[in-house]
Amino acid sequence: MAKEGNHTIELNDGSTVEINPRISIKKLRKLQNEGMLPASLLNAFVGAEKEPEKMEPYLINAAWIGFANANPTTMMAQDEFEDKITLDFALFGEILAEMVGGAAKSDGKLAQGFKRSTKK
């Protein structure tokens, strides 16, 4: 049974793994310092519609972040995980949107811009 906040996704080899997109503020700051997430999530989301290429690396990173968050003792490296997951911007966008939670939902313009940018 999955822990609260966890979801199961299927990898391209048919195996399934749990992800948990919900992160703490401390984790957010750490990921921002590592360049895994943008320094300003709100600014990145607002500009996503006009410059979707700026969000691309963060969308891709969201899948790894969700996996590592749900599996803190994993022996799988990010490179190995990325080799096993199919490129799916819709999935990555859902993970990132859940990661930022209420912020994306509360700002209609923000959410709409992000939604449109991930459909390209």
- Give residue-wise pLDDT tens across range 54-77: 888 888 999 999 999 999 999 999
User: Residue 84 region, left (φ>0) first, then alpha (ψ -120 to 50), else beta?
Assistant: alpha
Least confident interval from 4-18, 39-53, 66-80, 101-115: 101-115
Average pLDDT over residues 22-34: 92
pLDDT, position 104: 46
CA separation for the pair 63, 81 (Å, rounded): 9
Say yes or no to pLDDT of 20 above 90: yes
